[in-house]
Amino acid sequence: MGKFGGFNGGGMGNMQNLMKQAQKMQAEMLKKQEEVSVKEFEASAGGGAVIIKCTGDKLIKEVIIKPEVMADGDVEMLQDLIKVATNEAIGKAESAMQADLGQFNMPGLM
């Protein structure tokens, strides 16, 4: 056996190369995350009666409620429409993030 238990020191170059590749992949992943985080996603409920806009990092940017929704005073319906539209907008943002980061195919990271 060689000086390094049979590896003859050849593993260090491979390890350095692997580390460089990992750093490059990490930088690419961060860039993709940032790109998605600034995108806006929109969803509506009740035929457009409620519209929610959020960013890719799931921050609500805008809530639009058409005045006609409040005409009959049904607060529970309005709450349900807001909930549905918000969940859909956030779902779109999560799907976009997973789609963009899925190209890295790293089990356990998402």
The CATH number of 11-104 is: 3.30.1310.10
Which pLDDT does position 110 carry in this prediction? 47
Which pair of structure tokens corresponds to residue 108? 């356990």
Average pLDDT of span 44-68: 95
Please report which helix (H) or strand (E) contains residue 104, including its range: none
Q: Where are the domains of the chain?
A: 11-104
CA dihedral (104, 107, 108, 110) positive or negative: positive
pLDDT in tens, 70-83: 888 899 999 999 99
pTM: 0.69
Which pair of structure tokens corresponds to residue 35? 């790109």
- 38 pLDDT above the threshold of 60: yes
- Cα dihedral 97, 99, 103, 105, rounded to 10, equals 80
Nearest to 86 by CA among 43, 46, 47: 43
- Amino acid present at 87: N
